[in-house]
Homo-oligomer: A and B are copies of this chain.
Amino acid sequence: MAEKTTITTVARHARVSRQTVSNVLNAPHLVRDETRARVLASIEVLGYRASQAARQMRTGRSRLIAVRIEPTRDGINGSVLDRFLHGLTETASTAGYRVVLYTAADDAGEIATYDELLASHDLDAFVLTSTHRGDIRTAWLAGHDVPFVTFGRPWGAQPEPGRGGGHPARQHGGAAEPHAWVDVDGAAGTAAATGHLLAAGHRRVGFIGWPAGSGVGDDRRAGWQDAMGRAGLDVAGLSAGTSDGIDQGERAARDLLALPDPPTAIVCASDSLGLGARRVCGAVTGFDDTAVAAATGMTSVSQPLPEAAGRCVQLLRRLLDRDGPPDTPEQVLLAPRLIVR
- A-side residues, CB < 8 A to B, are 1, 5, 47-54, 56-57, 62, 64, 69-72, 74-76, 78-79, 81-83, 85-86, 89-90, 93, 98-103, 115-116, 119-122, 145, 246, 272, 275, 290-292, 294-296
Pick from B70, B78, B90: contact of A291, CB below 8 A.
Answer: B78
Report Cα–Cα, A70/B49, bound state, in Å. 26
Task: Decide: B74 and A86 in contact? CB cutoff 8 A.
Answer: no
Task: Decide: A98 and B121 in contact? CB cutoff 8 A.
Answer: yes
Task: Decide: B89 and A82 in contact? CB cutoff 8 A.
Answer: no
Contact partners of A272 in chain B: CB under 8 A: 295
Contact partners of A98 in chain B: CB under 8 A: 100-102, 121
Pick from B72, B74, B90, B275: contact of A83, CB below 8 A.
Answer: B72
Contact partners of A290 in chain B: CB under 8 A: 75, 291
Report Cα–Cα, A275/B295, bound state, in Å. 8
Q: Which of A48, A86, A115 has the most CB of B within 10 A?
A: A86
Offer 11 A-B interface pairs, CB within 8 angstroms, sorted by A. Answer: A1-B145, A52-B122, A53-B53, A57-B57, A64-B100, A69-B82, A69-B89, A78-B79, A99-B101, A100-B101, A291-B291
Could you tell me the distance in whole angstroms from the C-beta of A90 to the nearest C-beta in chain B? 5
Report Cα–Cα, A246/B116, bound state, in Å. 45
Task: Decide: A103 and B81 in contact? CB cutoff 8 A.
Answer: no
Q: Which residue of B lies closest to A92 (CB)?
A: B101
Task: Decide: A86 and B103 in contact? CB cutoff 8 A.
Answer: yes
Task: Decide: A122 and B75 in contact? CB cutoff 8 A.
Answer: no
Report Cα–Cα, A79/B74, bound state, in Å. 11
Contact partners of A74 in chain B: CB under 8 A: 291
Contact partners of A294 in chain B: CB under 8 A: 75
Could you tell me the distance in whole angstroms from the C-beta of A314 to the nearest C-beta in chain B? 18
New A-B pairs, 20, CB < 8 Å, besides A49-B119, A85-B101, A98-B100: A49-B116, A49-B120, A52-B120, A53-B57, A69-B85, A74-B291, A76-B291, A79-B291, A86-B103, A89-B101, A89-B102, A90-B103, A93-B103, A99-B100, A99-B101, A100-B100, A101-B101, A246-B295, A291-B292, A292-B292
Q: Which residue of B lies closest to A297 (CB)?
A: B246
Task: Decide: B79 and A75 in contact? CB cutoff 8 A.
Answer: yes
Q: Which residue of B lies closest to A49 (CB)?
A: B119
Pick from B70, B86, B295: contact of A292, CB below 8 A.
Answer: B295
Report Cα–Cα, A320/B279, bound state, in Å. 52
Pick from B78, B86, B122: contact of A70, CB below 8 A.
Answer: B86
Report Cα–Cα, A70/B72, bound state, in Å. 17
Contact partners of A81 in chain B: CB under 8 A: 82
Contact partners of A57 in chain B: CB under 8 A: 51, 53-54, 57
Contact partners of A93 in chain B: CB under 8 A: 102-103
Contact partners of A64 in chain B: CB under 8 A: 100
Could you tell me the distance in whole angstroms from the C-beta of A175 to the nearest C-beta in chain B? 22
